Structure 1
Amino acid sequence: MASVRPLRPAAPTPAPVVATPAKPEKPPKAKAIRTPVVPAPPPLAKAPPRAPRPGVTLDGGWDKRLTKGAVVPDTAIDLHGHTLASAHALLDAGLDRAIGNGDRVLLLVTGKPPRPESERPHARGAIRAAVQDWLMASRHAGRIAAVRGAHPRHGGQGALYIILRRSRGG
């Protein structure tokens, strides 16, 4: 530090200013303006957690195996010959049983969708049309990882794979 020289000469320090007490002045009176008090909005309620939608995600390996038909379903549920009400009950019971057994892939046979040239398209495919809604509204919706069309060896357009999530328990 002894060899360091300042680049500019130091500025002289100003003499301290002594403040003299001044007589305080009264500020002019302002008119009081009343503004209405607006209550703060209530905090937003947290949205209830939604169950994951079935059929949203699978990794590429699953999709490749499903496309090639390399996946063997653990369980199959056939809804042929059922009314909408009995098919819904059978699907719910089948999902319950498959989850209880620890199955991962369910084959759901719904029947082929109506042909475009069909005169009465509403006469065929009613169960297949309702299956996605049933699965999303199901009490098991959180356990369904994906829903995909089946390979031709498992029914093609007349069937679906329901891939269940792994159970979190030991």
Structure 2
Amino acid sequence: MTHPQKVRTPAASPSAAVRKAAPKPIDAATLDASWDRRLSRGLVSPDRSVDLHGLGLQGAYTLLDQTLDRAVAAGDRVVLLVTGKPPPRESERPHARGAIRAAVGDWLAASRHGDRIAAVRGAHPRHGGNGAIYIILRRAR
């Protein structure tokens, strides 16, 4: 009686499979301690700001892209992006608000300016607090 033979396939080596690295989330980018300290204390003044209130997703994306274009061309370092405050957590009813704020992280990560963005941080209350974020741009080299 013949027994079926088990065919062993060689384990795929990491070098055999070409893996594309997932894009690094911009939120994970770090700044040096002095930048983070100055941002958290509200000591940094934005070079440029953009308010996305009252816009639809496409309009907000277009305005954000144009603003980043201008900021990069002008050599700005800090862009203040005002998105509006998220709805309270304890709220029970569904909200149509917050779609732009939810999309901003993905927009920035996939942006044609993504390589120029050093970090994204929450804004100081003086600049909008929970309703705004700072986009820190890298210096041109």
Instruction: Give TM class, smaller chain.
Output: 0.7 to 0.9
Whose relative contact order is higher, 1 or 2, with alpha carbons under 8 Å and at least 6 apart? 2
* 2:45 counterpart of 1:59: no
The percentage of counterpart residues that share the same residue type is 65
**Helix, strand or coil at the partner of 2:88:** coil
Runs of 4 or more, structure 1, over 3 Å off, are 43-53, 119-122
TM-score w.r.t. structure 2 length?
A: 0.82
Distance 1:127 1:44, change over 3 A: same
Equivalent in the alignment of 2:8: none
* 2:57 counterpart of 1:113: no
Structure 2 gap segments, 5+ residues each: 1-11
Distance 1:57 1:68, change over 3 A: same
Aligned counterparts of 1:116 and 1:50: Cα–Cα separation in 2: 31
Number of residue pairs the alignment of both structures matches: 129
Distance 1:71 1:48, change over 3 A: same
**Helix, strand or coil at the partner of 1:64:** helix
Distance 1:121 1:114, change over 3 A: farther
Larger Rg: 1
* 2:55 counterpart of 1:82: yes
How far apart are 1:119 and its partner, in Å? Answer: 3.3
Higher helix share: 2
Range moving further from structure 2, 147-156 or 46-55: 46-55
Structure 1 gap segments, 5+ residues each: 1-40
**Helix, strand or coil at the partner of 1:119:** coil
How far apart are 1:126 and its partner, in Å? Answer: 1.0
How big is the alpha-carbon RMSD for the aligned residues of Structure 1 and Structure 2? 2.1
Listed as ranges, the matches of 1:129-148 within 5 Å are 129-148=102-121
8 Å CA contact 1:53–1:136 kept in 2: the answer is yes
Q: What per-residue deviation string (whole Å, max 9, x for no partner) do you get for residues 108-129 of structure 1?
A: 0000011113233441111111
Aligned counterparts of 1:154 and 1:124: Cα–Cα separation in 2: 20
